[in-house]
Amino acid sequence: MPHVEPMAFSMRFSSSRLLDRARAAVWLAIAGLRRQFCWLLLLVIPWVAVAQAPADVQVLREPEGLYLSARLPLDVPPGLEDVLLRGVPLHFVWQADVRRSRWYWTDQRVATVYRVVRVAYQPLTRRWRVSVGSSLSSDLGQAGALHQNLDSFDQAIAAVLSVARWRLVSGEDLPDADGLRVELQFRMDGGLLPRPFQLGNANAVDWGMTYRQTLPVLAPELPKDPS
C-alpha cells in the first residue's frame, strides 16, 4: 500500500473543497441573474398586450424635409418603475421607414431612421436621465446625443412616448412625387439591456412591437398660377 503524506493529502483536500465552493458560488450567481432576468421579462411583456387609444401622430411635408410629431397613448405596465429604480437602464426605439409605392416595380425605400431613447435613474440626485440618439447602440454618450434630467418617472415616460418635429428625410433627399408613406414602429428593445439580463433569452432583441402605424404623406402642393 503506497504511503501518503498527511500534509499533501490535507492540501489536496482543502483545494478540492475550495474549488467545489467556487463552482457552487458561480452557479448560484448565474441562477440569481436568470431569476432576475425572468422577473424583468415578466414586467416587460405586458407592453405587447396593452390596449391602445388613437395616437396623436402627424406627418408634415415641408421644403426642408419630412417631419413627424407624435404622442403615443401607451399605458405603463406595473413594476416598470421598480426595474429602473433597481439601476437597470431601459431603451426604447422609434423606427420610421419612408417608402414610395411604384406600380411598375417593388416599393422604393426612401429612408429608414431611428430614435433611441434611454431612461436611467440616478440615485445620487434622485432624478431621471433621458438620453436620445439616432444609433441602435446602448452607448448614448457619443457626440450628438441629447440629454435631459427630469424630476419624476412620469416626466421621463412622457419624454419617451412623445417626439416633436423629428426629421425623417431632408428636403434634398425627399422625392418630389406622390405615393409616399411612413411606416412607424415603437418598441422597447431588450437587446440593449445590460449583458447579464440577456442570458437565457435567444430572442432578446425583439420583445414585441408595442405600436405600429402607417401614415400617408400628402403630395407636394403645386405652385399657384399667378394669372
Return d(Cα 214, Cα 217) in angstroms, integer: 10
Q: Would residue 21 count as lying in a domain?
A: no
Q: Would residue 6 count as lying in a domain?
A: no
Q: Would residue 208 count as lying in a domain?
A: yes
Q: What is the pLDDT of residue 134?
A: 85
Residue 90 vs residue 168, higher pLDDT: 168
Q: Would residue 223 count as lying in a domain?
A: no
Return d(Cα 117, Cα 91) in angstroms, integer: 6
| pLDDT greater than 60 at residue 218 | yes
Predicted model pTM: 0.69
Q: Would residue 124 count as lying in a domain?
A: yes
Percent of the chain with pLDDT over 70: 61
Q: Would residue 5 count as lying in a domain?
A: no
Q: How many CB atoms lie within 10 A of CB 11?
A: 11
CA 184 to chain centre: 14
- Cα dist. 220→1, 17, 103, 166, 211 in Å? 98, 77, 19, 19, 28
List the strands of the sheet with 90-100, edge to edge. Answer: 146-150, 127-133, 108-122, 90-100, 180-188, 209-216
Grid cell of 143 as nine digits: 457626440
Which structural domain, as residue segments, surrounds residue 100? 32-216
Helix ranges (DSSP H) in the chain: 6-44, 80-85, 153-160
- The count of structural domains within the chain is 1
Q: What is the pLDDT of residue 102?
A: 86
Give the mean model confidence (pLDDT) for residues 90-114.
92
Q: Is 87 helix (H, G, I), strand (E, B) or coil?
A: coil
| CA-only gyration radius of the chain, Å | 26
Confidence band, pLDDT 50/70/90 cuts, at residue 208: very low
Q: Would residue 16 count as lying in a domain?
A: no
Give per-residue pLDDT as tens, 20-45.
Answer: 565 655 555 554 544 454 444 434 43
Grid cell of 131 as nine digits: 438620453
Residue type, 64: E
| pLDDT greater than 50 at residue 49 | no
Grid cell of 179 as nine digits: 405615393
Q: Would residue 183 count as lying in a domain?
A: yes
Mean pLDDT taken over the chain: 75
